[in-house]
Each structure stands twice: as structure tokens, then as C-alpha cells.
Amino acid sequence: MNHGLSRRDFLKLAGLASLGMVVPPSVQHLGGGLQGDKKNVLIIVFDALAAYNVSLYGYGRATTPNLTRLANRATVFHNHFAGGNFTTPGTASLLTGTLPWTHRALGFNDPAIASFSDKSIFHAFDDYHRVAYSHNTLVNTLFRQFLGGITEYVPQDELFLFNDGFIRKLFPNDEDTATVGWARAVKRTGGYSYSLFLSQLYEKYRDSKVADAARQYPLGLPSINNDNYFTLEQGVDWLAEKLNELPRPFMGYFHFLPPHFPYKPHRDFVGAFSNDSFQPPSKPEDLFTEGRSNDFLQKWRNVYDEFILHVDSEFARLFDALERSGVLDNTWLVFTSDHGELFERGIWAHSTPTFYQPIVRVPLMIFEPGSQEGREVYEATSAIDLMPTLLHLTGHSIPACVEGRILPPYAAGAARPGQPIYAGPRETQQAYSAADGSHCHARQRQLQIDLFPRLQRIRRGRRACPVVRHSGRLRGT
């Protein structure tokens, strides 16, 4: 007697079996169906992170021991430049693959011009589940412009410990005015507010809500608009869990505020560099100096470096969590920033018309799915190159409007010695610079006026901007 199963009997039994009996765990966790050959894309941006202050790139303090360790598994770009010197142009270039004078997101909290509303990186990945989050208000302005391409927009206040979110919800079309009015009414600035009674009730309620977290931050909790508090630890925990639940394939853009000012590292990192022997090179004051003393700049550099140490620790914790969960086996992971920070030449932070390298040179590391090997790229590269590179790596077409190129080493013939790199300023008519270690200023009003028609010619493909061509490895400032 034949006791074997016939083909018909096997199919009957298979139909009765549960999915969990026949699908391996490594596939079950994909959370939205079988992924096939499509790889996820995960972009992690840490705001205002200067490559100049990253020890992986040769900085004199050990600010990023974990990035240095993980570099053995990534393609590390040593001369990578942001699209601008503050969040709006820098992030808009990341999200559109275009230069600032093309997308025109140049002023504080500006969106891109209307023609880019359906031309973002989110729109280009239209067959993916696309999710976006940022602590930064300026980034959320761009998200709202690109909502048509975002599958899942996570509101800014989702990761706040205590926030003014109800004001934004009540007055969505007048967010700026409503937030300012609320702040003046109940938040004491310089010791005063419009309502002395409500301000004290508000502060007691606020402080009770964040008391546990505040004990971990001796310099105060990180915040947006003074008291929309958050912690990077909470953000990393949330993101690690979130990524396990997303439908596959996904494209995620997550833009965290640290190490942007206010510099508020966790207590484990406070004082890490306060008594070391590091001395930054002495630089002459710039024409656009703010008159900051060396003592002032060194004080804030110390805390900024400690905040970077905190960021480095949390990114490593996120990386390890994603590796344990298997997410990295099928995900292109990007680590970068939107702009840098300056602590020299009498200038602090990045609200400046200057374009020294600490302001526009930023980290870029790309982790290939499942890779255990590292590579290094020393050619000058730009933030506008990231979008076309990720589209190329995932088999998508690159929109005609994109001005960036596929990064080396991901495409044959991608090397481009001598290719100019451009960045845009805080205001349209302040300054434009080449990323070559030099900078250019609009020193006089007449020069500012004369710059604008030249930028129009660049946008049409004729490179007439008064910037300097650079080839080879970039050094210092």
C-alpha cells in the first residue's frame, strides 16, 4: 500500500495550515507583505552636525568612537557638503536633489517653489511606504509641502515630552502667530510674560510632566521653542520600534534636532571634554565677525562636542537595535546632516553669511544592506547627490529635475575630479560659495545685486556663479 501523499492531498493540507507554520520568522516580520528584491531606504539626519568636529574625520577629540567603529561597514565620504548653511536650504536640497537657487527655499522657514511640491524624494519613491518625522519646525514646513508624496507623516509633537501641540492644532493656518502669542501670554522670557498668574501655573504643570527626564539632563532638557522638550533616547526607542512595524518596502526620512543648539547632552556626556588638552587652531577674525571671544567660543565648542558624543552613542544604539531585528539586512541606511556649526573667527553657530567648511562640510556614511565591508571616498560630493544615488540603488528612475549625480562608487563613471560643489546661503543675496575650503562674500550691496542674474544663468545650466573649482581632497578651513 502506498502511504505517500498525493499532490492533491498535499495541497489540501497546505490550505489548512496557518501562515505562521509555513513562513519563516525572518519573512513574517516584514509587516506588510513579502518584500521581494526591493530594499528599504532609511535616512537619518542629525541637525547641525559639522564633519569638522567628528573624530572619524580627524578631529582632535574622540567625539564619535562608535561612528569610527561602524565605518568599517560603511562607505564613508570624507569631503561631503551640505546644500546650504542652515536647515531650510540644506534640507530642501536633500529632499529635492537640487541646488538652493533651483528649489528657492532660501529664507527662514521657506518652502520650495510651488513647482517642486510634487518633485521630492518622497514622490520619487512612489511604490514604497514613505514615512517622515523631524523635531525641527523648518523641516516640517517642507514636509507639509510634500505631503502628497508622504504615506505617513508623523507630527512634530509626537516625540515631545511636553509641547504646545494643541496651539498648532487649533490654529493650523496661523501657526507662527498663534505660537508667538501663546508664548508671550504664558511663557516667561527674560523673567516676564503677559500673564504672571497663568505663567506660574503653566510652569508648575510643565515641570511636573518632565521631572523624571530632567534629572538625566543637568544642563536642561533639549527643546524646541524653549519648552517643547524631547530626548534623543526616546526618539531612538520610538524609531527602532516603528521600523519593525512599517510595511515593506519603506523609505523613511528621520531628522533629529541634536546636536543643534541648545546643546543639552545627557548627563553621561556632560563634562567629557571640559578639562582635556585639546586646543583648536587659532584663526583670524572674519570680515563678518560677531566679535565672540575665544573663551566664549571654546565654552560652547566643549558642550557642542559633548552633544556630538551623545548623538554618536544614540546612533550606535539605534544601529545595534536595527541589526538585531534584521531590518539592516534589507535596508540602505544613510547617516548625514543638513549643515554644520562654527566656533572660530569670532563667529558662533551657523546664522552667518560665511561659508567656512565647519558650516557646510557634513558627514555622510552609507551602509549597504547586510554589508560587513567598508570603503572610503575622498572626492568632493554634495547633498544633492544623495537622492539620485538612492533612486539608482533601488532601481528607480531619476527625475529630470534632479541636479545631483550618482555618488561614487555606486555607478560606473561616477568619478568626477574637478566637479564644482555649490552651497546656498541663508538669504538669497548674501553669499555663494564653492566647497573648496575658501568662501566668498557679497561684500557690498552692488555685488549682492549683481549676483542674482548670475545665479539664474546657473539654473539654466550655464555655470557662471563666482565660485572656485576644486579637485582632490579638501582640508581644513
Do 236 and 198 share a domain, yes or no? no
C-alpha to C-alpha distance for 154 and 140, rounded to whole angstroms: 10
Are residue 336 and residue 256 in the same domain, yes or no? Answer: yes
In Å, what is the CA distance from 260 to each residue of 373, 442, 455? 31, 27, 30
Per the structure, the count of domains in the chain is: 2
- Judge contact between 365 and 74, C-beta under 8 A: yes
Whether the Cβ atoms of residue 129 and residue 246 lie closer than 8 Å to each other: yes
At 197, the pLDDT band (50, 70, 90 cuts) reads: low
pLDDT for the residue numbered 411 = 82
With 60 as the cut, is the pLDDT of residue 475 above it? no
- Residue 43 and residue 254 in contact, taking contact as beta carbons nearer than 8 Å: yes
The predicted structure's pLDDT at residue 182: 66
| Residue 474 covered by a domain | no
Residues whose CB is less than 8 angstroms from the CB of residue 443 and which lie 6 or more positions away in sequence, other chains included = 287
Residue 61 shares a structural domain with residue 120: yes
Edge-to-edge strands, sheet with 331-336:
152-153, 129-134, 250-256, 40-46, 331-336, 364-367, 75-81, 375-382
- Identify whether 295 is part of a domain: yes
The answer to whether position 383 is within a domain reads yes
Place of cell 555606486: 410
Task: Specify whether 214 is located in the same domain as 250.
Answer: no
Q: What is the pLDDT of residues 338-384, one digit of tens each?
A: 999 999 999 999 988 888 999 999 999 999 999 889 999 999 999 99
Identify the weakest region by mean pLDDT among 86-95, 254-263, 280-289, 372-381: 280-289
Q: Give yes or no: residues 318 and 220 share one domain.
A: no
Rounded CA-CA distance 187/190 in Å is 10
Distance (Å, whole) CA 252 – CA 398: 18
**What CATH code is carried by the domain that includes residue 80?**
3.40.720.10
Residue burial 179-217, b: 16+ Cβ < 10 Å; e: rest:
beebbeebbbeeeebeeeeebeebeeebeeebeebeeeb
Is residue 344 a part of any domain in this protein? yes
Task: Tell me the three cell numbers of residue 143.
Answer: 514636509
- Same domain flag for 205 and 349: no
Q: Which has more confidence, 33 or 394?
A: 394
Residue 6 covered by a domain: no
Distance CA 179, CA 328 (A): 39
Question: For 122-150, b where at least 16 C-beta lie within 10 A, e where not — what string?
Answer: bbbbeebbbbbbbbbbbbbbbbebbeebb
Q: Strand 331-336 and strand 228-229: pairing?
A: unpaired
Average pLDDT over residues 388-401: 97
DSSP characters for 182-226?
Answer: HHHHHS-BTTB-S-HHHHHHHHHHHHHHHHHHHTT-TT---EETT
- Enumerate helices (H) and strands (E) in the chain, giving the number of each: 16, 14
Cell numbers linked to 395: 532601481
- Predicted confidence at residue 375, as pLDDT, reads 96
Flag whether 10 is in a domain: no
Answer whether residue 464 is part of any domain: no
C-alpha 177/C-alpha 180 separation (Å) is 5
Confirm if 360 and 299 have CB atoms less than 8 A apart. no
Separation CA 47–CA 52 (nearest Å): 14
The C-alpha atoms of residue 41 and residue 301 are separated, in whole angstroms, by 33
Nearest to 336 by CA among 411, 247, 407: 407
Higher pLDDT, 303 or 433: 303
**Angle between helical axes of 386-393 and 87-96 (0-180°, round to 10):** 30
How many C-alpha atoms does 345 have within 13 Å on its Cβ side?
17
Read off the pLDDT of each residue in 101-124 and give the average, rounded to a whole number: 96
- Beta strand 347-349 with 375-382 is unpaired
The pLDDT value recorded for residue 82 is 97
Mean pLDDT of the chain: 82
309 & 411 share domain: yes
- C-alpha to C-alpha distance for 372 and 71, rounded to whole angstroms: 10
Candidates 94, 193, 169, 188; CA nearest to 138 is 94
Which pLDDT score is estimated for 68? 98
Tell me the longest C-alpha to C-alpha distance in the chain.
100
User: 103 vs 190, which has greater pLDDT?
Assistant: 103
The answer to whether the CB of 75 falls within 8 A of the CB of 409 is yes
Query: Quick one: 180 and 116 in the same domain?
Result: no
Task: Summarize pLDDT for 149-167 with one digit per residue, the tens.
Answer: 999 999 999 999 976 666 7
**Count of Cβ atoms closer than 10 Å to residue 6 Cβ:** 9
Of 229, 252, 279, the domain-final residue: 229
* pLDDT reported for residue 131: 98
Q: Are 124 and 194 members of one domain? A: no
Do 65 and 143 fall within a single domain?
yes
Residue-range definition of the domain harbouring residue 219: 162-229
pLDDT band (50, 70, 90) for residue 417: low
- Quote the percentage of the chain above a pLDDT of 70: 74
Residue 453 pLDDT > 50: no
469 within domain boundaries: no
Three cell numbers, residue 59: 578631529
| Angle of helix 87-96 versus helix 137-145 axis, rounded to 10 | 40
Confidence of residue 461 (pLDDT cuts 50, 70, 90): very low
Element (H, E) at 180: helix 175-186
Residues 53 and 191 in one domain: no
Same domain membership, residue 241 and residue 117: yes
